[in-house]
Amino acid sequence: MAVSLSIRLPETTAKALEDVASATKRSKALVIREALETYLAEYADYKAASDRLMDKGNTVISAADLRKRLR
């Protein structure tokens, strides 16, 4: 089920959104939805990497050691 949201954008951001929507012949809602989905996916990747880096039980190896292990 879709959920409706209302947001306020600075005029410059709203203009940039309008320009992208017009240039790509897409609705502003679609541009926003795709941008948000991309951001959330990238954030999830960042969070997973950050969690792994902070896990004291997960050892970090050097690039040289990684190359040796991959041979």
Determine, yes or no, domain membership for 39: yes
- Condensed to tens digits (0 to 9), the pLDDT of residues 42-57 reads 999 999 999 988 888 8
Residue 64 lies in a domain: yes
pTM score, whole prediction: 0.71
| Domain of 48, in residue numbers | 12-70
- In this structure, is residue 4 part of a structural domain? no
- Is residue 49 a part of any domain in this protein? yes
Q: Please check whether residue 57 lies inside any domain of the structure.
A: yes
- Tokens at residue 56, please? 């004291």
Question: Residues with Cβ < 8 Å from 5, sequence gap 6 or more?
Answer: none
Does 3 map to a domain?
A: no
What is the C-alpha separation between 17 and 65, in angstroms, rounded? 46
Q: Is residue 63 part of a domain?
A: yes
Does 25 reside within a domain?
yes
Per-residue pLDDT, 7:
95
Which pLDDT does position 45 carry in this prediction? 96
pLDDT per position as a tens digit, 4-40: 999 999 999 999 999 999 999 999 999 999 999 999 9
Total domains present in the chain? 1
